[in-house]
Structure 1
Amino acid sequence: MSKEYVAFVRIPDSLTGTISQLKQRAESSLVRDAKLSPGDRTEAVRFENLHATIDQIATAAMLDKEAHCFISDDSEVARYVSEKSGITVLSSADSADGHLPNEVRSWLTSGGVVVELLLPHGSGTVEGHVNNDTPPIAPAKRWKSSATGVRAAAKERFEDTVISALQSKTGNSSISPSGVSNRVLTDTLHKYCGVQANHIRRDVPVVYRDGSSGPEFPLGALNMREPSWKDPQILRFTLLSIRHVEMDSLVDGAWLRNTRISRSREAGLTDRIVFDQSRRQLKSLDLTTPTVIEMYQTGLETAIIGFYRAVALHLLDHPGTIAVRPMFFVGGSRFEPSRRIWAT
Structure 2
Amino acid sequence: MSAELFLLIALEGGQRDEAMALHDRSRSALTRAASNPADNAIDVARYERAQSALEALALAARAAGAPWTMSDSPVGQGSSALLYTAPHSPPAHPAVRRLLERAAAPGAVVVEVVWPFAPGATVLPERGNGQLPSARRWSAQGMRAKEAIQVRFRGQLEVAMRTAAESPNFSRVPPGMAGQRPEAIVPSGIPNAVLTDTLREFVAQVPGRGPVDVPVRYRDGSCARPFPLGAVPMGRNWEPTARLLSFALMSIRHVELDVTVDGAWLRNSEISRPRPMAQTDELVYDTSRRQLAALTGAGQVALEIYQSGLEPAVVGFYRAVVDHLREQPGSLAVLPVFYRDDGPFGEGVPWRSP
**TM-score, normalization: structure 1?**
0.58
Report the alpha carbon displacement of residue 227 of structure 1 after superposing the two structures with TM.
Answer: 6.3
Residues 1:210 and 2:220 are matched in the alignment: yes
Any runs of at least 4 consecutive aligned residues in structure 1 with deviations exceeding 4 A, and if so which? Answer: 133-140, 226-230
Amino acid in the other structure paired with 2:350 = I
Cross-structure match for 1:274? 284
> CA, structure 1 residues 147+158, in 2 after alignment: closer, same or farther (shift >3 Å)?
farther
Deviations 1:264-289 (A, max 9, x none): 11111111111110011011113452
Report the alpha carbon displacement of residue 341 of structure 1 after superposing the two structures with TM.
Answer: 0.5
The alignment-based identity, stated in percent, is 40
Cross-structure match for 1:154? 149
Cross-structure match for 2:264? 254
CA contact (8 A) 1:246 1:333 kept: no
Within 5 Å, which residues of 2 pair with 1:1-344?
A: 35-36=47-48, 138-168=133-163, 169-170=166-167, 172-226=182-236, 231-287=241-297, 289-331=299-341, 334-338=344-348, 340-344=349-353
How far apart are the structure 1 equivalents of 2:342 and 2:255?
12
How far apart are the structure 2 equivalents of 1:228 and 1:180?
25
How far apart are the structure 1 equivalents of 2:219 and 2:156?
14
Deviates more, 1:224-233 or 1:187-196: 224-233
How far apart are the structure 2 equivalents of 1:140 and 1:207?
19
5+ residue gaps, structure 1, are 1-31, 38-130
Amino acid in the other structure paired with 2:158 = I
How far apart are the structure 1 equivalents of 2:148 and 2:342?
26
CA contact (8 A) 1:247 1:333 kept: no
How far apart are the structure 2 equivalents of 1:320 and 1:228?
13
CA contact (8 A) 2:296 2:332 kept: no
Cross-structure match for 1:100? none
- Helix, strand or coil: the match of 1:248? helix
How far apart are the structure 2 equivalents of 1:221 and 1:147?
34
How far apart are the structure 2 equivalents of 1:181 and 1:35?
35
Report the alpha carbon displacement of residue 229 of structure 1 after superposing the two structures with TM.
Answer: 6.8
How far apart are the structure 2 equivalents of 1:194 and 1:280?
23
Pair member with larger Rg: 1
Deviates more, 1:254-263 or 1:169-178: 169-178
- Helix, strand or coil: the match of 2:235? coil
How far apart are the structure 2 equivalents of 1:228 and 1:249?
23
How far apart are the structure 1 equivalents of 2:232 and 2:286?
20
Deviations 1:135-189 (A, max 9, x none): 5775454333334222222111111100111111345211000000000000000
Aligned residues: 218
Amino acid in the other structure paired with 2:216 = V
5+ residue gaps, structure 2, are 1-43, 50-123, 168-180
How far apart are the structure 1 equivalents of 2:238 and 2:139?
42
Cross-structure match for 1:43? none
For the aligned residues, what is the CA RMSD? 2.5
> CA, structure 1 residues 273+333, in 2 after alignment: closer, same or farther (shift >3 Å)?
farther
- Helix, strand or coil: the match of 1:283? helix
- Helix, strand or coil: the match of 1:324? strand
How far apart are the structure 1 equivalents of 2:196 and 2:236?
17
- Helix, strand or coil: the match of 2:337? strand
How far apart are the structure 2 equivalents of 1:288 and 1:197?
34
